[in-house]
């Protein structure tokens, strides 16, 4: 590790740095998995860029360091900050509010104060490493105030913000006691990106109604305190995955052998249904289980013929709503298995673990039907990963219309997960679908995720930031 240079021309700011602590890794850090990191790393490496974020351990104070050709700029969070800013305001106020109040958001002034304080710290860290006129790209709902704070510190830089989760309809957004401050925070950016056209529309609507600003086709006229006028643009940039990486893994003989082994270990049922989600109340896991349980109860499915594999990766385990969700899901799984399992067959193979990506791809390949039944989801990358992994053009994606992915993946079997009878019929349609029809749909889906991968997403966003700066195309 060496000291990075202190000025960067491209800067990414996100809650977490793209690395995890790992005592066994060289230098003590390992690159964290995920599409965002793989898309942005080459950009930062090429431009000598920097990434500003929290290293993931409370109280850890670190100087900037270099990792894989990027300058990493750590922001320190105390245990209190983690509890109030991250678990509190980010994950128990904004997250439920922006996901249509599926779980009731909690509004606490102390959490808000911590959110302001921590956002300021991120803004100052970004300001301190930005070269004159740098492009700064802020990521996600934990940092909605950073664009404006950064603009005040550094009026010379070009600021982008990307919102990974939904932006709610005005009637819900209006609940937020700090609704004006959050909108003003976001409007500090030159380009404000959302997953869906609908999210961008909800945002501009809130801006009009709360701040009385003029908006036209996503362009918002913002007047600063000194009277100067600028334009901020809100538009959709649907995020994607590293499609090539999934395709490549899925073609590996050892991954294909593992997929076969998984099916064998389940007793080679005719049909394997698969769900994989962070254990989060937005993902509709309970609705999925209800529909599946009723299909077994009505003998439309028999436990000898079908198994549902549900990976529920541990998430936000210190937030009360997540503890309660886990109890509910595990109670339901236990009931269904108790009612329908035989000595030799299980209705649901429930796994509360995280798996390496190779194993995920093997599971995708082993699954005849992929169930994505989110009640609200910014995009849902699992849907795209399933498609990218199906190099055999087989398998059926059942996809909730309340995901961002539904806008793009039109050949999936679409469902409204609240309509349990409709969901049951969709699962049966998927199970009964003929191979030729599966292949026809899967090929079209695969074309889409090949053409629009995560590199394409970051290129589009950064091109718009370059255009703001007046760089040549």
Give phi and psi for 232, each to the nearest 5. -105, 145
- Find the shortest distance in angstroms from Cβ 223 to ligand GDG: 31
- Which of the ranges 48-56, 181-189, 348-356, 361-369 carries the binding residues for ligand GDG, by CB under 6 A? 348-356
Give 293: exposed, middle or buried? Use CB within 10 Å, 0-12, 13-18, 19+: buried
- Find the shortest distance in angstroms from Cβ 209 to ligand GDG: 25
Of the pair 81, 385, the CB lying nearest ligand GDG is at 385
Of the pair 383, 427, the CB lying nearest ligand GDG is at 383
Q: Is 377 in the site for ligand GDG (CB under 6 A)?
A: yes
Q: Is 355 in the site for ligand GDG (CB under 6 A)?
A: yes
Of the pair 293, 378, the CB lying nearest ligand GDG is at 378
Q: Is 354 in the site for ligand GDG (CB under 6 A)?
A: yes
Q: Is 379 in the site for ligand GDG (CB under 6 A)?
A: yes
Q: What is the Cα–Cα distance from 398 to 201, expressed in whole angstroms?
A: 27
**CB hemisphere CA count around 327 (13 angstroms):** 5
Of the pair 148, 164, the CB lying nearest ligand GDG is at 164
Please identify which residue in the block is written with the tokens 């390992």.
30
Interacting residues with ligand GDG between 295 and 324 (CB under 6 A): 311, 313
Q: Is 367 in the site for ligand GDG (CB under 6 A)?
A: no
Q: Is 187 in the site for ligand GDG (CB under 6 A)?
A: no
Q: Is 276 in the site for ligand GDG (CB under 6 A)?
A: yes
- Which of the ranges 46-54, 204-212, 376-384, 427-435 carries the binding residues for ligand GDG, by CB under 6 A? 376-384
Q: CA quadruple 132, 133, 135, 137: dihedral positive or negative?
A: positive
Q: Is 199 in the site for ligand GDG (CB under 6 A)?
A: no
Q: Is 278 in the site for ligand GDG (CB under 6 A)?
A: yes
Interacting residues with ligand GDG between 214 and 253 (CB under 6 A): 239
- Which of the ranges 108-116, 372-380, 393-401, 453-461 carries the binding residues for ligand GDG, by CB under 6 A? 372-380
- Find the shortest distance in angstroms from Cβ 95 to ligand GDG: 9
Of the pair 122, 246, the CB lying nearest ligand GDG is at 246
Q: What is the Cα–Cα distance from 71 to 8, expressed in whole angstroms?
A: 8
Q: Is the CB of residue 325 less than 8 Å from the CB of residue 281?
A: yes
**Residue of the chain from 382, 426, 431, 465 that contacts ligand GDG (CB under 6 A):** 382
Give phi and psi for 159, each to the nearest 5. -120, 130
Q: Is 357 in the site for ligand GDG (CB under 6 A)?
A: yes
Of the pair 215, 373, the CB lying nearest ligand GDG is at 373
- Which of the ranges 302-310, 371-379, 389-397, 437-445 carries the binding residues for ligand GDG, by CB under 6 A? 371-379
60: tokens are 């850890």
**Residue of the chain from 16, 121, 148, 164 that contacts ligand GDG (CB under 6 A):** 164
Of the pair 340, 457, the CB lying nearest ligand GDG is at 457
Q: Is 363 in the site for ligand GDG (CB under 6 A)?
A: no
How many residues belong to the site for ligand GDG (CB under 6 A)?
A: 20
Q: Is 380 in the site for ligand GDG (CB under 6 A)?
A: yes
Of the pair 258, 357, the CB lying nearest ligand GDG is at 357
Spell out the residues 6+ positions from residue 418 whose beta carbon is closer than 8 angstroms to its own.
Answer: 287, 375
- Which of the ranges 43-51, 61-69, 145-153, 377-385 carries the binding residues for ligand GDG, by CB under 6 A? 377-385
Binding flags for ligand GDG, 13-42, as an x/- string (CB under 6 A):
--------------------x---------
Give 331: exposed, middle or buried? Use CB within 10 Å, 0-12, 13-18, 19+: exposed
Give 345: exposed, middle or buried? Use CB within 10 Å, 0-12, 13-18, 19+: middle
Of the pair 382, 442, the CB lying nearest ligand GDG is at 382
- Which of the ranges 56-64, 289-297, 354-362, 429-437 carries the binding residues for ligand GDG, by CB under 6 A? 354-362
Q: How far is CA 459 from CA 42, 52, 138, 406, in A?
A: 11, 20, 15, 22
- Which of the ranges 44-52, 352-360, 410-418, 447-455 carries the binding residues for ligand GDG, by CB under 6 A? 352-360
Q: Is 409 in the site for ligand GDG (CB under 6 A)?
A: no
Residues that bind ligand GDG (CB under 6 A): 33, 164-165, 239, 276, 278, 311, 313, 354-357, 360, 377-382, 385
């Amino acid at each position: 590790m060496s000291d990075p240079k202190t000025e960067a021309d491209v800067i990414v700011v996100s809650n977490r740095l793209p690395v995890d602590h790992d005592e066994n890794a060289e230098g003590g850090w390992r690159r964290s998995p995920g599409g965002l990191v793989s898309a942005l790393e080459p950009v930062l490496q090429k431009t000598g860029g920097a990434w500003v974020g929290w290293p993931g351990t409370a109280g850890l104070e670190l100087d900037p360091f270099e990792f894989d050709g990027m300058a990493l700029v750590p922001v320190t969070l105390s245990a209190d900050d983690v509890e109030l800013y991250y678990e509190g305001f980010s994950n128990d106020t904004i997250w439920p509010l922006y996901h249509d109040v599926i779980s009731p958001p909690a509004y606490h002034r102390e959490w808000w104060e911590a959110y302001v304080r921590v956002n300021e710290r991120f803004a100052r860290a970004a300001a301190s490493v930005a070269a004159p006129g740098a492009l700064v790209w802020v990521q996600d709902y934990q940092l909605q105030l950073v664009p404006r704070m950064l603009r005040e510190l550094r009026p010379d830089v070009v600021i982008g913000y990307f919102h990974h989760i939904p932006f709610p309809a005005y009637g819900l957004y209006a609940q937020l006691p700090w609704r004006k401050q959050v909108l003003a925070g976001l409007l500090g950016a030159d380009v404000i990106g959302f997953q869906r056209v609908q999210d961008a529309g909800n945002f501009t609507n809130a801006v009009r109604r709360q701040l009385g600003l003029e908006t036209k086709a996503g362009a918002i006229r913002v007047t600063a305190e000194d009277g100067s006028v600028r334009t901020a643009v809100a538009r959709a940039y649907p995020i994607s995955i590293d499609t090539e990486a999934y395709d490549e893994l899925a073609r590996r003989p050892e991954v294909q052998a593992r997929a076969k082994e998984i099916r064998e270990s389940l007793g080679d049922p005719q049909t394997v249904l698969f769900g994989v989600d962070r254990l989060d109340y937005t993902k509709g896991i309970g609705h999925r289980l209800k529909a599946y349980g009723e299909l077994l109860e009505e003998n439309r499915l028999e436990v000898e013929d079908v198994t549902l594999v549900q990976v529920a990766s541990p998430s936000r385990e210190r937030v009360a709503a997540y503890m309660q969700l886990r109890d509910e899901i595990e109670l339901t799984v236990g009931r269904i298995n108790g009612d329908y399992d035989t000595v030799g067959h299980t209705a649901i193979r429930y796994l509360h673990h995280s798996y390496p990506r190779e194993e995920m791809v093997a599971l995708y390949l082993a699954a005849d039907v992929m169930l994505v039944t989110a009640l609200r989801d910014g995009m849902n990358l699992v849907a795209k990963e399933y498609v990218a992994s199906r190099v055999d053009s087989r398998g059926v994606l059942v996809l909730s219309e309340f995901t961002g992915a539904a806008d793009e993946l039109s050949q999936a079997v679409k469902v409204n997960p609240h309509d349990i009878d409709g969901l049951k019929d969709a699962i049966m349609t998927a199970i009964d679908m003929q191979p030729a029809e599966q292949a026809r749909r899967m090929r079209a889906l695969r074309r889409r995720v090949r053409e629009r991968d995560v590199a394409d997403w970051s290129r589009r966003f950064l091109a718009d930031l370059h255009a703001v700066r007046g760089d040549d195309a």
